[in-house]
Chain A
Amino acid sequence: MTEKKTPLHAEHEALGATMTDFGGWMMPLRYTSDLAEHRAVREAAGLFDLSHMGGISITGPDAGAFLDHALVGNLSRLRPLGARYTMICAEDGGVLDDLIVYRTGELEYFVVANAANAETVLGALGERAAGFDAQVRDVSADQALVAVQGPRSAQIVREVLTEDAELSGGTAFDELKYYASLGMRFGDEAVLVARTGYTGEDGFEIWVDAPHAVALWRALLAAGEPHGLVPAGLSARDSLRLEAGMPLYGHELDTTTTPYDAGIGRVVRLDKVSDDGTPVEFVGRAALAARRESAPARVLVGLRGTARRPARAGYAVVQPDAARADGAVGPQVGTVTSGAPSPTLGYPIAMAYVTPEVSAEGTELAVDVRGRAEPFVVVPMPFYRRERS
């Protein structure tokens, strides 16, 4: 398969990025150092190209009712310019993708899907739209998405974008709340700015028409440089989201996982009702209602390493066996879904699905790190939480 390139591809090459295949796209893995990029986001700001994400426009009189049927969340109740983290599930309750949905107008929504799942989501939405007066349109190729993340991001965005009363929906940029959006202007171009992100820091995601992506990228780099902003790749993005305890599709989430398994059952709105007050029979509702009432077979937990070797995705979580001085591994009680040395915290962190009996905070476990048991302990997530001013 030939990897797709974002409108910012030449910028990444000019910056000397190491590129990698991600979800069928050629994306920057790192520009210089994973750790430096990670730290810049925690301490100043980082600039990310996220144009590989799928963008799907939903319009029409039934747009809200359609999304209530197609997704697990209550999108018809989302206020205009609000954003929501939600999921699209199969009939059996398995997660097809996790999504961010923006309400861009009274009868307009914008659905952001993971790159690797964009086709699946588009197909499922198309099927589920039958009987609704709503249009589903893939606008991924028309749009680029860049994210400015980090404590200095608001200052940087303010220097590059201008407020526009016609686009803003009455919201001032300085009053933009987390998980809300507004229209702004980049030169003459309208852009959509959302206070969302995947790093655990304050930050903004900016949708721009593809032909203006390069100019916006360069303007953000130039304005951000005095603030300590650096371009940041997917490697830093992954370690940032892991510290923030955020799931990644293909790791913590997949078609065999329900939102409840992943500990984010709050996104499932079994109580949502249509305008006439009747319960909404959304796709996956029956299976998810049953799943909520049953005891889970496995639980997603955070693990903190008490030695130095990090656990990686796919490694077995095992019972620690104190009697075995050779460090050999005990019986398996779970599987690591994501793991890395935490750049901010300085010790290994991981997420893992484990059996409920060993999921309590403080439980001492071990991970089979290439044949040797390394000690880990169950800790609450997120691993890292920013200080809020």
Chain B
Amino acid sequence: MADFPANLRYSVEHEWVDDATPATVGVTSVAAEALGDVVYLELPEVGATIEAGTVIGEIESTKSVSELYSPVSGTVVEVNQAAIDDPAVVNSAPFGEGWLFKVEVTGTGQLLSAEEYAQHAG
């Protein structure tokens, strides 16, 4: 079973969020592997208000397209332009350079610990 960073929390839709302010959101290594090579990201715009559990963007790979759900509610304050320009970082470093956007969090959906997520993804 894969190890997931213990300092992050996870959604069942395979997004992660950290506990910083603002919080950083990305997709997990499980999502990145299932997608295949990511070639296009559609992320919410800076200033957008997003709601936990709703579709807020798209991740497109060579073979398929998946909807991106937000694990938290709040206001988007930054998007990862480097990942938009070169989405391959989502595959190579999903928990690092491949982060997607940052949010001023006002609330969260149901989130899992690393251990719970490992069981869910296992």
Which residues of A come within 8 Å of B, CB atoms? 29-30, 33-35, 38, 235, 238-239, 308-310, 312, 340-341, 343, 370
Most A CB within 10 A of own CB, among B42, B58, B60, B91: B60
Bound-state Cα–Cα, A35 to B42, Å? 20
A235→B60 contact, CB < 8 A: no
* Interface status of B4 (Cβ within 8 A of chain A): no
| In the complex, chain A residues whose CB is within 8 Å of the CB of B36 | 29-30, 33-34, 235
The closest CB in chain B to the CB of A36 belongs to: B37
| In the complex, chain A residues whose CB is within 8 Å of the CB of B37 | 33-35
Which of under 10, 10 to 19, 20 to 34, or 35 or more describes the interface residues of B?
10 to 19
| In the complex, chain A residues whose CB is within 8 Å of the CB of B40 | 308-310, 341
Which residues of B come within 8 Å of A, CB atoms? 36-37, 39-40, 42, 58, 60-63, 65, 88, 91
State which of A308, A309, A341, A370 has its C-beta within 8 Å of the C-beta of B62: A341
Interface class of chain A by DSSP: mixed
B65→A34 contact, CB < 8 A: no
The closest CB in chain B to the CB of A308 belongs to: B40
B63→A34 contact, CB < 8 A: yes
B39→A341 contact, CB < 8 A: yes
Bound-state Cα–Cα, A312 to B58, Å? 14
A-B contact pairs, 7 of them (CB 8 A): A235-B36, A235-B62, A239-B62, A308-B40, A309-B42, A312-B65, A343-B62
Bound-state Cα–Cα, A38 to B61, Å? 14
**7 extra interface residue pairs, beta carbon distance < 8 Å, beyond A309-B60, A341-B60:** A30-B36, A34-B62, A235-B62, A239-B62, A309-B42, A312-B65, A343-B62
CB distance from A250 to the nearest CB of B (A): 16
